Amino acid sequence: MNKQFTLLALLIGASLQAQAAQDPFFTITEDSAGSASKGYEGPWAIGISKQGDALLTLHTDNDAGSYFSRAPFANFLVDRFNFEPGCLLASSVCNSYWDDQVHRTYQWRIDNLNGGSQRENTGAFSGDENDGIVTALGDTSDDYVGYKMATAPYKSDGYYHVRTAFASVAGNQVDLNAKFTLTNDSGSAVNSLSLPNSMTKLDDRYIVAGTVAVTAGSDSSFKNCYGGNSDKSGHFTYCPGFDTQAAFWVLDSSGDNPQLTVAPSYYRADNSVLETAAATGLAEYNGKLYGVGYSSTGEAGSSTLSGRNVAVYWDLTLSGNTLSFGSLSKVPLALGEPGRGDKKMRHSWAIGVNSAGYVVGNQLYTTNKNRNRPTEMFVYKIGQSGNAVIPFENAPAEGANSQAAAINDHSMVVGWRDARNYTSPVVSGTNRLQEAFLYNAASGSAWYLNDLICGKSDSGSKNCAVQSSGKYYHITYANGISADGSIAATAYRYDNETDLNKKQNGVVVSIKMSPAVADFTSIDSKYVVSNPPVVQTAAEESESGGGGGSLFWLTLLAAPFAWWHRRH
C-alpha cells in the first residue's frame, strides 16, 4: 500500500511539473526604429494603429521630461499641464537638468526660442518637425496625423515658427489649418497654430481631434513664449503664447475637404488668463457621439499665468461632413477643480473615450501628498452617478503617481505608474522609476506589464529572458493599445539578469507586445509572474555607478521618474 501511495505521489508530482511550464502572456517584438539623425534620445513608442499593423516612435533632443517630472515624449508646447508647474525636485537636481545645457532641459527652451526641431520620427515613419512628424495613427499605417513646423519665422523681424497640423489617408495628405491667421511680411495670411491628437474613422469619414489657436493672446504671452528669456523659472510658462480651443476636423472618405469645427466656449471663461483647450478623442456610445479633452478655467487666479485645465467631454452631432458641439460637461472628480473647494487640484485632462462610454484621463495635485504632487489616473463612465474612479490612488504608497495614456474599445487602458517599492520623496527630492500597466476599466483588474513578460520552466521556475534573443526587459511606458490587445511600449533592454537588476548597460527600445490569447481582457493568473524591479541600496547603486555611466541610464533619466545622477 505504501508503495502504491509513493508511486501515486511521484506521478502527481511529475504531472504538476509538466503542467508548470508556461509561456509569457505577452511576446515582445522590437521595432526597427533605429537611431535619430541628430543623436536624439529614445526611441520612445508613442502609439500603435487600431489594427496593430504599425508602431509609432519618436526621438527627442532634450530631457525636458525629467525637469517637469513628465514622460519624455509629452507635449511641452500646448499642453500647459505638462510644464506650467515647473520643477518640483531638489534645487540641485532642477539646476543640473537646466544648467548642463546641451540636450538637457535648457536645450528644450533654446529650441523653442530659435525654432529648432526637437522631435524626430524613425522606423516606419521618418522626419523631424521641419519635415513633418507623425504624432498619432488611425486604423492602419496608411492613416495618420501629425504637424509640420516652418523653418523660418512667419515675419522677418519675428520669432514664431508656424506649426500646422496635417492628416494623411492612403497617401493623400492635407493641411489642417486654424481659422485664426497671422499676417506675414507680404501681407498674406498664414496659419497660426494647429496640432492634432488623434484620428478616428467613423463610417466613411475621418475625424481628427486637436487644438487650434483662436487669438494671439496678450502681447506678453506671445512674445514671452517665443521671444522671451531662457531662464529656468522664466517666460516658457507663457506658452503656447496663443489662446487655444478644442477643435475637430471632418474629412471625407478620401481624406479630403477638411471641415473645421471649434468649441464655442470654455468651461469657465476668463479672458484675463491664458486660456488653453484641446480635444483628444471621440467615440460613439449608446447611439450618441462624444468628444473628450480639456478646457480652461480662470478660477485659480486673475493673472495671465493663472489659466488651468479641466477634464471635460462634449456632446457632438455629425451631419454629413459637418460636426457641431453640444453641451460641455466636466468629468466629476472628488478632488474638485482648479481654484475651487480646498484647491488641491492644479489640472485635469481626459486623454480618450471608447465605445463603451469610458472616459480616461489624469488629475494633477497642486498641494503635497506625502512629499509628492502626484498625477493620478481617473476612469469615468458617461452617465454614471458620482465621481470618477481613481484606480491607483495611494498605491503602492500614499501620493503615488499613475498616468493613463490610451484606451481601446475593449475598455483596456494602458499607461505608467510608480514602480513597486519606489517611494522616495519627489518634492525637493528626485523622480521615481516607472512601470507600465494594463487596466480593465470595466472590471477594475490591473496588471504590471513586467509581470506578464516572464514564462515558467518545466520545474515551475521563473524565466524572464525572451526566448528568441535571451534578452531581459524592463517595461516603463505603455502608450497605445490596438483592437487586438497589442501594446506599444518603451522598454529598457539588457543582455543579462545581473544588468537588469543593477540597471546598467541597458538600451532604450520601442517594442510591440502581442498577447498570447484572443481574450486579453481577463488574464489567467497562471500568466502573472511577479517581476518587480530590484531596488538597490545606496552602496549597490554606487558600486554599479548608477548604470555604469552608460548612455542607457542617462537616457532613462531623460525619461522621468528614475533616480537622478549627473551625466558623465
Which of the two residues, 568 and 496, has the higher pLDDT score? 496
pLDDT attached to residue 544: 38
Q: Residue 334 to residues 212, 308, 421: CA-CA distances in angstroms?
A: 30, 17, 27
pLDDT attached to residue 103: 84
Tell me if 178 is assigned to some domain: yes
496 phi, psi to nearest 5 deg: -155, 170
Confirm if 462 and 480 have CB atoms less than 8 A apart.
Answer: no
Tell me if 3 is assigned to some domain: no
Q: How far apart are CA 463 and CA 461, in angstroms?
A: 7
Q: How far apart are CA 434 and CA 334, in angstroms?
A: 25
> To which residue does cell 555607478 refer?
545
Tell me if 563 is assigned to some domain: no
Which of the two residues, 421 and 531, has the higher pLDDT score? 531
Segment 5-24 shows an average pLDDT of 58
Confidence of residue 101 (pLDDT cuts 50, 70, 90): confident
Q: How far apart are CA 362 and CA 352, in angstroms?
A: 11
pLDDT per position as a tens digit, 436-450? 999 999 999 999 999
Confidence of residue 553 (pLDDT cuts 50, 70, 90): very low
Look up the domain containing 433 and give its range. Answer: 21-558
Tell me if 56 is assigned to some domain: yes
* Through-space distance between the first and last CA atoms of the chain, rounded to whole angstroms: 70
Tell me if 239 is assigned to some domain: yes
**Helix, strand, coil proportions of the chain in percent (round to 5)?**
15, 35, 45
Confidence of residue 99 (pLDDT cuts 50, 70, 90): confident
pLDDT per position as a tens digit, 390-421? 999 999 999 999 999 999 999 999 999 999 98
Quote the number of domains for the chain. Answer: 1
Tell me if 13 is assigned to some domain: no
Q: Which of 11-25, 66-80, 87-101, 472-486 bottoms out in mean pLDDT, i.e. has the lowest?
A: 11-25
Segment 288-297 shows an average pLDDT of 99
Amino acid occupying residue 499: D
Q: How far apart are CA 60 and CA 51, in angstroms?
A: 26
Whether this prediction's pTM lies above 0.75 is answered by yes
Which of the two residues, 7 and 40, has the higher pLDDT score? 40
Quickly list DSSP for 161-224: PPEEEEEEETTEEEEE--S-EEE-TTS-EEE-BEEEEEEEEETTEEEEEEEEEEE---HHHHHH
Does residue 104 register a pLDDT over 60?
Answer: yes
Average pLDDT along the chain: 91
pLDDT attached to residue 542: 37
Confirm if 488 and 514 have CB atoms less than 8 A apart.
Answer: no
**How would you classify the pairing of strands 55-60 and 41-48?**
antiparallel
Confirm if 138 and 49 have CB atoms less than 8 A apart.
Answer: yes
Tell me if 5 is assigned to some domain: no
Q: Residue 298 to residues 263, 278, 307, 494: CA-CA distances in angstroms?
A: 17, 16, 5, 48
Does residue 219 register a pLDDT over 50?
Answer: yes
Q: What percent of the chain has pLDDT over 70?
A: 90
Does residue 2 register a pLDDT over 90?
Answer: no
Q: What percent of the chain has pLDDT over 90?
A: 83
> To which residue does cell 501681407 refer?
187
Tell me if 246 is assigned to some domain: yes
pLDDT per position as a tens digit, 238-254? 999 999 999 999 999 99
122 phi, psi to nearest 5 deg: -140, 165
pLDDT attached to residue 564: 31
260 phi, psi to nearest 5 deg: -90, 135
CATH, residue 280: 2.130.10
